[in-house]
Amino acid sequence: MPEIAALEALEILDSRGQPTLQVEVTLTDGVHAVAGVPAGASTGQNEAAELRDDEPDRYDGRGVLAAVGSVRRQIKDLLKGRKLNRLEDVLEADRLVEELDGTDNLARLGANATVGVSMALARAVAATWGMPLWQVLLEEQSRDRARIPVPHFNVVNGGAHAENDLDFQEFMIAPVGSPSFAEALRAGAEVYTSLRRQLHERGMPTGLGDEGGFAVQMDRVEDVLTLIVTAIETAGYRAGHDGVAIALDPAANGFRTSEGYTVAGENYTSGEMVSWYEALARRFPVWSIEDGLAEDDGAGWQELTTRLGESVQIVGDDIFVTDAARVQQAVIDRIANACLLKPNQAGNLRRTLDAVAACNSVGYAQMVSHRSGETTDSFVADLAVGIGCGQIKCGAPARGERLAKYNRLLEIEHHSRLPYGLRDADVRR
């Protein structure tokens, strides 16, 4: 039975040119597996904590040599010699690492170190068995559950991801009506090209934000949505819940004020924000809204869920931080009906899969997510397939670190007979 022979890490750069970790594991059977760790820009307060070096002269204090040290020393000493044969062994390793860390948010060893180790171990199990990673992640669930997710392409970037005046962070297109992932990717790419043409014809800049979407010089949300609908239709698709739908991640923490919210210079109470979302969902084919309100606005979230939750997917990201307990509490509080899943927000695979289990037990939909700072690692693509949640977002259908995930899904679809699309339970919205 293979055992962990070596654990290594090095400081590499992510898609923003900021330091992150590459973690490498070698097993006694000769298997070598590698993982690249992502990093967010708009983060929830309760995310597992990255460990960044406190050295202002190096990478503006964003170096990760201390986290590299956690992998090379403490975590390696803990895990070396342990058997690694199946997913359960990875989850047990995660548990031991959590224990060694001793903090709730993995701040001591660094969640960037712990998540990298967890990802590399899972990939090593897949390599040992000559299996695709998604199949390892499926262990202990029925194979029927696996499916290829609907991609949510982030085509317009604002908020913390772009240097423009747009307050909403992400405007995504979701080809829910496509017959396969390959056709969905084609739709995404064709609409993206059509959008670039629309901007060009209006004499507007076509520069990109952190996730590869256009950093449009507009500040009115309605104008952006109108532009996107035009781009969808000009590309020859139907803008709607049976064709190419729209998903938003306003990331409302970013425009929260002490009074309420400020968008494009206008002030809103949370009730007014909810009314605005209601109007947007009536006028445009918006099928999903993530972080429409700030993480500290519980009452607002309740109102949003009550008023829109029957017809729109209400996704919690910063408010849930991929945490099972927060999802369980949300059901009691009647907050949201879906949860975003980011492994580095949880800090390892064990906690991520716990959040998945919590969502499944209470009937919350799930969307797997990349981060705005990425590497070419495609782990989240396999994760989405393995847990069969039917939804993923990995940025625009452009730029290498985003395409790594989408092309991986294309490859999985090509080599498997897995179904594509939303889960039945989520289609009704």
Q: Which residues are catalytic?
A: 211, 342
- Nearest Cα neighbor of 75 from 41, 33, 32, 106 is 106
Q: How far is the CB of 43 from ligand 2PG (least distance, A)?
A: 5
Binding range to ligand 2PG, per CB under 6 A, among 120-128, 218-226, 319-327, 365-373: 365-373
Q: How far is the CB of 402 from ligand 2PG (least distance, A)?
A: 10
Output the smallest distance, CB 292 to ligand 2PG, in A.
12
Give, as ranges, the residues between 181 and 200 that touch ligand 2PG (CB under 6 A): none
- Any contact of residue 40 with ligand 2PG (CB under 6 A)? yes
Distance of alpha carbon 81 from alpha carbon 89, whole angstroms: 12
Please say which residue, 167 or 291, places its beta carbon nearer to Mg ion. Answer: 291
In this structure, the strands spanning 4-13 and 19-27 are: antiparallel
In whole angstroms, what is the distance from residue 289 CA to residue 58 CA?
Answer: 38
In the three-class reduction of DSSP (H, G, I as helix; E, B as strand; rest coil), residue 184 is classed as helix
Residue 254 interacts with ligand 2PG (CB under 6 A): yes or no? no
366 binds, among ligand 2PG, Mg ion, none (CB under 5 to 8 A by kind): none
Binding to ligand 2PG in span 261-290, by CB under 6 A: none
Shorter beta-carbon distance to Mg ion: residue 246 or 410: 246
Binder of residue 94, out of Mg ion, ligand 2PG, none (CB less than 5 to 8 A by kind): none
Angle among Cα 380, 387, 83 to the nearest 5 degrees reads 80
Residues 211-230 that bind ligand 2PG (CB under 6 A): 211
Q: Give least dist CB 170 to ligand 2PG, A.
A: 6
371 lies in the binding site for ligand 2PG (CB under 6 A): yes
> In whole angstroms, what is the distance from residue 156 CA to residue 331 CA?
31
The site partner of 47 among Mg ion, ligand 2PG, none (C-beta below 5 to 8 Å per kind) is none
Question: Is residue 251 within the footprint of ligand 2PG (CB under 6 A)?
Answer: yes
In the bound state with ligand 2PG, the residue whose beta carbon lies nearer, of 40 and 397, is 40
The β-bridge relationship of strands 313-316 and 338-341 is parallel
**Minimum CB–partner distance for residue 341 and ligand 2PG (Å):** 11
Which CB contacts under 8 angstroms, 24+ apart, belong to 74-80?
Answer: 74/100, 74/109, 75/7, 75/100, 75/109, 75/113, 75/114, 75/117, 76/6, 76/7, 76/8, 79/4, 79/7, 79/117, 80/4, 80/5, 80/6, 80/7
Among 5, 12, 41, 418, binds ligand 2PG (CB under 6 A): 41
128-167 binders of ligand 2PG (CB under 6 A): none
- The answer to whether 322 and 342 have CB atoms below 8 angstroms apart is yes
The two tokens of residue 278 are: 């209601």
Q: Which of 22, 43, 112, 375 binds ligand 2PG (CB under 6 A)?
A: 43
Tell me the C-alpha distance between 216 and 253, whole Å.
21
Supply 280's token pair: 């947007």
- Our measurement of the distance from residue 340's CA atom to the centroid of its chain's CA atoms, rounded to an integer in Å, reads 6
Question: How many Cα atoms occupy the beta-carbon half-sphere of 321 within 13 Å?
Answer: 21
Q: Is 317 in the site for ligand 2PG (CB under 6 A)?
A: yes
Ranked by CB distance to Mg ion, the top (closest) residue is 317
Task: For the chain, give the number of residues.
Answer: 429
Q: In the complex, what is the shortest distance from the CB of residue 212 to ligand 2PG, in angstroms, rounded to a whole number?
A: 11
Our finding on whether 14 is near ligand 2PG (CB under 6 A) is no
Residue placing its CB nearer to ligand 2PG in the complex, 170 or 426: 170
**How many positions of this chain bind ligand 2PG (CB under 6 A)?**
12
Query: Residue 123 and residue 291: Cα distance in Å, rounded?
Result: 31
Name the residue nearer to ligand 2PG (CB basis): 70 or 372.
372
Contact 357, 419 (CB under 8 A): no
Residue type for position 119: M
What is the nearest approach in angstroms of Mg ion to the Cβ of residue 364? 16
- How many whole angstroms separate alpha carbon 387 and alpha carbon 371? 19
Closest CB to ligand 2PG among residues 249, 303: 249
Can you state the percent helix, strand and coil of the chain, rounding each to 5? 45, 20, 40
Q: Which of 20, 22, 42, 348 binds ligand 2PG (CB under 6 A)?
A: 42
Least CB distance from residue 306 to ligand 2PG, whole Å? 23
Q: Does 249 bind ligand 2PG (CB under 6 A)?
A: yes
Cβ proximity to ligand 2PG: between 50 and 249 the closer is 249
The residues that touch Mg ion, with contacts defined as CB under 5 A, are 249, 291, 317
Query: How many other CB atoms sit within 10 Å of the CB of residue 98?
Result: 18
Binding site for ligand 2PG (CB under 6 A): 40-43, 170, 211, 249, 251, 317, 369, 371-372
